[in-house]
Structure 1
Amino acid sequence: MNDAGFGARLRLRVEQMDTVLADPAANLARIATAQARAAADGVDLVVTPELSVTGYDVRDAVHALADPESDAPFGELAGGPDVVVGAIERDASFIPRNGALHLRGGRVLHRHRKVYLPTYGLFDEGRYFGRGDGVRTYDAGGGWRMGLLVCEDLWHPALAWLLAAEGAHLIVVQSAAAGRGAVAGGAAGGRFASWGAWEHLARAAAIAYGVYVALANRAGVEGGLVFAGGSMIVGPDGEILARAGDEGEDAITADLSLDAVAAARRPYAHARADDPRLVAREIARIVESRP
């Protein structure tokens, strides 16, 4: 890959990492090491989990860990392939945001702020973060259009649809999903019954829209949270191209191509038949009818 972006074929690696809570320097050093390994393997894009720079359960340290929004805050990651990191940013309003940042040459190519902040069960993100206000696709070069989501965002299918409607070929999802359910696994195997739902969500988006879905989940333990691992890369036909283990750090790699996107869309006409104007009209009607 060069500064102009990806080619028509894209080698993607998901780094299923553990992180050190509230220690950005240590985490960035680990990401840089993973980036160097990826470069040696000809990888074009490395994807890390949600809040990979800071750790997840930051609580009241969120303000101290929030960096000002900037296009060049990651010089230590300037020398290798592109990398998607999870970081806390603050904008001119000084509100911390849970951000997914696509870095190229250490500079921010695209940023997404997590829209849906879970405040149920073990999660209380709405207490510490401000929510994002939208999703956008972006040009990654070589004909690739990408979109980013963070964890809970994937559970709101309208966001994946919006990215697909704007022409995405690849949707990258960062997550810090804790394991739920008895240590019994499910149809998909693994330790946690909850992971089957993540697989269904990722595969459904891939099949419905003819897009790649790369899901990078956190590994390890942090406070009372046991992260579920199980990261995956799903092809545009819904097939799982690579799956990480669920008992610690792992790395998975797959070769992606725009030809495969085109082939997956030939049997169906979902994109051709889609009608965003109808959706916009009906959403406006529903919103206006609510008290």
Structure 2
Amino acid sequence: MRLRIEQFAPALCRTDTNLARLARAQVDAAAEGIGLVVTPELSVTGYDVRDAVHTLAAAESDAPYPGLAQGPDLIVGTIERDAGFVPYNAALHLRGGQVLHRHRKVYLPTYGMFDEGRYFGRGDGVRAYDAGGGWRVGLLVCEDLWHPALAWLLAAQGANLLVVQAAAAGRGVVAGGSAGGRFASWDAWEHLARAAAIAYGAYVALANRVGVEGPLCFAGGSMIIAPDGAVLARADDLREDRIDAELSLDAVAAARRPYAHVRDDDPRLVAREIARMLGDG
């Protein structure tokens, strides 16, 4: 499978503009033989929506984007509301404009410059899903990656591709990062993503955005990481960019031969210990 990360700066609260951008990206990807296009967190709406969250939230639907029905699969970030009118920060895997799978962000950063807990409902789970061709995918959104239990849960459900959407701000611009990037803060993201890839023998596609919204300067630096932890492609940390990589199930198999972490993980042991910690057993 050929995967592309479309790293760009979504226009804040301008869904029509962003959807047109995504449709163009889909057309370009189709012409180049790309099978899956991954976009950043809240790529349909922009990030710092604040009180506009309710007007931007679309009703949950299995076919929300007919304008994105042509071309390869597309993973978008958007706001959708449930039957109780609660808005969620959601990642949607679209195929033919219909939702193949959705993930609602579980961990909402409400510290420092972030205030998501005021505006969004919290997702209540993670599920790996079949995307065809032997690919089993798990979706995470930004802060979710900083809680390693979620990546483990997806790996335990058989995920061989972890897709992470992000709107991660850049910090430490003067110091820079040890990997050569402008933002020192991005090193931690790379460590987390590479650790997940190595531990579980899975690809990790981390799609971050760029640009500025209010006080937020986003860090770019999107990357595609192989199951052995090698960085296959890395995007610019300031400009819009596209990065591609060829993904192979053979590489997944090869990465899992010297190790047996996924095989040997024991969800029952984890469940017992969590029950004990919570005083339930």
Deviation at 1:182, TM superposition (A): 3.7
1:265 match: 256
Aligned twin of 1:109: 100
Describe the superposition over 1:108-164 as per-residue Cα deviations: whole angstroms up to 9, x where unpaired: 000000000000110000000000000000010111100100000000000000000
Alignment partners' CA distance in 2, 1:61 and 1:111 = 22
Which of 230, 242, 256 is the matching residue for 2:247?
256
Aligned AA for 1:178? A
Secondary structure of 1:31's counterpart equals helix
Q: Give the corresponding residue for 1:29.
A: 20
Q: For residue 152 of structure 1, what is the aligned residue in structure 2?
A: 143
SS in 2 for 1:288: coil
1:118 matched to 2:109? The reply is: yes
Q: Residues 156-195 of structure 1, C-alpha deviation per residue, up to 9 Å, x if partnerless?
A: 0000000000000000000000001242212111111100
The separation in 1 between residues aligned to 2:85 and 2:161, in whole angstroms, is 31
SS at match of 1:191: coil
The one of 232, 247, 250 equivalent to 1:241 is: 232
Q: Distance in 1 between matches of 2:262 and 2:90?
A: 29
Structure 2 residue identity aligned to 1:151: C
Q: Which amino acid aligns with 2:138?
A: G
Q: What letter matches 2:189 in structure 1?
A: W
Question: Residues of 2 paired with 1:184 and 1:230: CA distance?
Answer: 16
After TM superposition, give the deviation of residue 100 of structure 1 in Å: 0.1
- Which residue does 2:10 correspond to in 1? 19
Q: How far apart are 1:17 and its partner, in Å?
A: 0.8
Q: TM-score, normalised by structure 1?
A: 0.95
CA distance in 1, matches of 2:271, 2:246: 35
| 1:166 counterpart = 2:121 | no
Is this contact kept in 2: 1:184–1:190, CA < 8 A? no
**Structure 1, residues 203-261: CA drift from partner, whole Å, max 9, x if none?**
00000000000000011111111000000000000000000010110000000011110
Fraction of identical pairs, as percent: 77
Amino acid at match of 1:42: G
Distance in 2 separating the partners of 1:239 and 1:191: 20
CA deviation string 1:71-107 (max 9, x = no partner): 1110111011000000000011110000000000000
1:1-291 aligned within 5 A? 10-288=1-279
RMSD: 0.8
Return 5+ residue gaps in structure 1 as ranges. 1-9
8 Å contact from structure 1 (residues 13, 251) kept in 2:
yes
The residue that corresponds to 1:5 in the other structure is none
Aligned partners of 1:190 and 1:246 also within 8 Å? yes
- CA distance in structure 2 between the partners assigned to 1:109 and 1:160 by the alignment: 20
Runs of 4+ in 1 over 4 A off after TM superposition: none
Partners of 1:142 and 1:238 in 2: CA distance:
22
| Letter in structure 2 aligned against 1:277 | R
CA contact (8 A) 1:39 1:81 kept: yes
- Following the alignment from structure 2 to structure 1, what is the Cα–Cα distance between the partners of residues 57 and 95? 21
Structure 2: gaps spanning 5 or more residues: none
| Matches of 1:268 and 1:255, distance apart in 2 | 23
One-letter amino acid of the structure 1 residue matched with residue 258 of structure 2: P
Question: Does the Cα contact within 8 Å between 1:219 and 1:249 map onto a contact in 2?
Answer: yes
One-letter amino acid matched to 2:43:
S
In structure 2, distance between residues paired with 1:153 and 1:37:
30
Tell whether the 8 Å contact from 1:175 to 1:217 is kept in structure 2 after alignment.
Answer: yes
Instruction: After superposition, give the CA deviation of every residue in 1:17-53 in whole Å (9 maximum; x if it has no partner).
Output: 1011001000000011111111111000000000000
Aligned length: 280
**Any idea what SS the aligned residue of 2:178 has?**
coil
